[in-house]
Each structure stands twice: as C-alpha cells, then as structure tokens.
Amino acid sequence: MGDEYSMADDEKRNLRMGHYKKSGREGESSQGMGSYRDVAERMKEVARQQSMATSNMMKIRYKIVIMSSKGGVGKSLVTSSLSAAIASMGRSVGVLDADFHGPSIHKMLGVPTGYGMLARIDGTVDPVVTSIGVKIASIGLLIPKDDVALIWRGPIKASAIRELLAYVNWGPLDYILVDLPPGTGDESLTIVQSIPRVSGLILVTIPSEVSKSVVKKAIAFASKLKTPIIGIIENMSYYRCPHGEVIHIFGKGVAEDLAREYNIPFLGAIPLDPRIRECNDEGKIFFLEYPDSEAAVVFREIAKRVIDIVENGKAVIPEIRED
C-alpha cells in the first residue's frame, strides 16, 4: 500500500491534511493538468497558499534552515539537538521536518511515528508539543509506520511544503528550525523561496573531502538565492576514546577550512558518540538523556553562537565569484 495509505483510516488520531489522503493519484493529475482553466485555478491556489505561508511565518521571529548537500551527515541530529539547546536557553522553538522521504526529527525528539497532528475545523493543524516544549510538524507524524514510502513528484512536494508552512498553528514562536532532505533540489528551493526573511542557513558537514566539495554547492545555493549563512557545523568530527585519546576518523578541520575560505562562521565540532545513534534509533532525546556528554556541551555552545548571530543580525550572504 505504501503511498496509497489513507489518513481517514486513522480516526483516533484525528488527522487531516489533504495531500496525505491521495498522494499517488494527485501526483499524476498535476502532471497531466489539461485546460488553461485548470492551470489558472492551480496558480491561484499556489498564490493563496503562499500568502498564507508568508503571514504564518511572519509570526515567527527567527527562521533557520538546516542544510547540507550530502545525505547522512547529521542534519536531523543537528536540527533536533539545536532545537533542544535553544529551547533550554529560554526561547520558544518549533521544528518543521521538510524531509518527506526520510522524516526522523519526531523520533529524535521522542515522538513516535504516526503519533498524529490535531486537525482543526478551520483546516489548520496543531504541531505536536514534545516533552521539552519544542513544537514539531512532520510528515513522520502522519504516516502510520517508518517503512511507508511516499512517492511524490516535485510539484506535490512543493505544495505539501507550502501547506505545512501555511496551515500549521505554530503560534508566536521565537525560532523555527527547518530540517531539509539532502541536496540543493526542489525541497530546499521551495523552503528558501517560500519562507519570508529566512534568518539564515546552517550548513552541516562531516570532515571528509567528499562532503567538503558538496557543501560548496550549498554555499553557492545560498549565494545565488541571496540567503544568509549563519555558519557551518562539523559533525562526526572526532571520536574520543574512553581513555581520552582523540581520533579523527574521517579527516580533520574540513569545516574550519570551508569557514575560512568563504568567510563564514565556524559554529563547532560535534564528536562521534555511539549513544547518539542509540538514542535516535530508540526514539529518545539524546540531549535530555546525556546532558553532560561532550556532544551536548558542544550543542549548547553552538546554540549560544547561533543565538548571538541570529538575534544580532550577523549572518551574511556569501559572495561567490563566478570565474
């Protein structure tokens, strides 16, 4: 069944967001849009969604997008841990998971897949409030289990992103953190273009040359879209053995090199810690389970830097010369 899953089956969770009812068929219909009237109607709908998304997002003071060009480098870990760290500093925080194909934020913040989001009679949807007070909205809350595959074409994903931006009742928030899927493709473009006044991007990399070269694409993306960069984080930077020795498993100093080269802030280096993966897999909040771990301490330091950069308007648009 996969993408044909019907949300109506899940009455107890009281879910309703149009797309999730009929994703496969809807994808086809948008490809085969026939008459000019259909196209005009569709464009009107897009404009309406966009204007609602704009006014909804304007209620949130600081809007941060977490990005990398490469998969599996820890964007979702950074988004979830940073949301917890920023919330622990007295800010109200929401997290929007824009990764429809591998949503994971909800689990990293202790909420099981399929938990649901409450739909209101006016068509809006409430985010889930986690045990640490961070609000989340994610497709992972709406699908029944992790192995459900959503097979959506680009226009449907763009529309679903605009719906999430438009119809989730975040209420007034200090921060929203948006977790992107890997790459500089459709979803990244839609998010950055649909959110008014993005405070900046946070780039995540691991210390490998391959990851370095793809992060450059994310920097070029920010430059082209005139979006500021808050800084760059190196995840899985090193492993500290139980007797204290530090091992650089993938490489060393890659994010710092990039930061120097492009004149963007280096926000910090997060160590490899097997307990991170364990917590993520078990649906526990690492930041809460191990608040004194080296990684949690680093996340708090990074959160302080992010707050300083964002709240004092220090994020800058990278300039890339096209030679």
Decide: helix, strand or coil at residue 229.
strand
Q: Rule CB under 5 A: say whether 69 interacts with Mg ion.
A: no
| Residue closer to ligand ATP (CB basis): 170 or 238 | 238
User: Burial letters for 302-318: b for 16+ Cβ neighbours within 10 Å, e otherwise?
Assistant: bbebbbebbeeeebeeb
Binding mask 184-213 for Mg ion (x = CB under 5 A): ------------------------------
Which 31-50 residues touch ligand ATP, going by CB under 6 A? none
Q: Which residues of 93-116 are buried (b: 16+ CB within 10 A; e: fewer)?
A: bbbbbbbbeebbbbbbbbbebbbb
Task: Quickly count: other Cβ atoms within 10 Å of residue 33's Cβ.
Answer: 13
Compute the distance between CA of residue 11 and CA of residue 215 in angstroms, rounded to an integer: 43
Residue 280 sits in the site that holds ligand ATP (CB under 6 A): yes
DSSP 8-state assignment for residue 185: S
Instruction: Tell me how far, at minimum, the Cβ of 155 lies from ligand ATP, in Å.
Output: 22
Query: Which residues within the stretch 49-108 sit at the binding site for ligand ATP (CB under 6 A)?
Result: 71-77, 99, 102, 104
Which one of residues 23, 69, 76, 81 is an interface residue with Mg ion (CB under 5 A)?
76
Of the two residues 97 and 174, which places its CB atom closer to ligand ATP in the complex? 97
Other CB atoms closer than 10 Å to residue 2's CB: what's the count? 12
> Where in 232-251 is the site for ligand ATP (CB under 6 A)?
235-236
- Return the number of the residue (78 or 229) whose C-beta is nearest ligand ATP: 78
Distance CA 92, CA 39 (A): 40
Residues that bind Mg ion (CB under 5 A): 75-76
Residues that bind ligand ATP (CB under 6 A): 71-77, 99, 102, 104, 181-182, 235-236, 270, 272-273, 276-277, 280
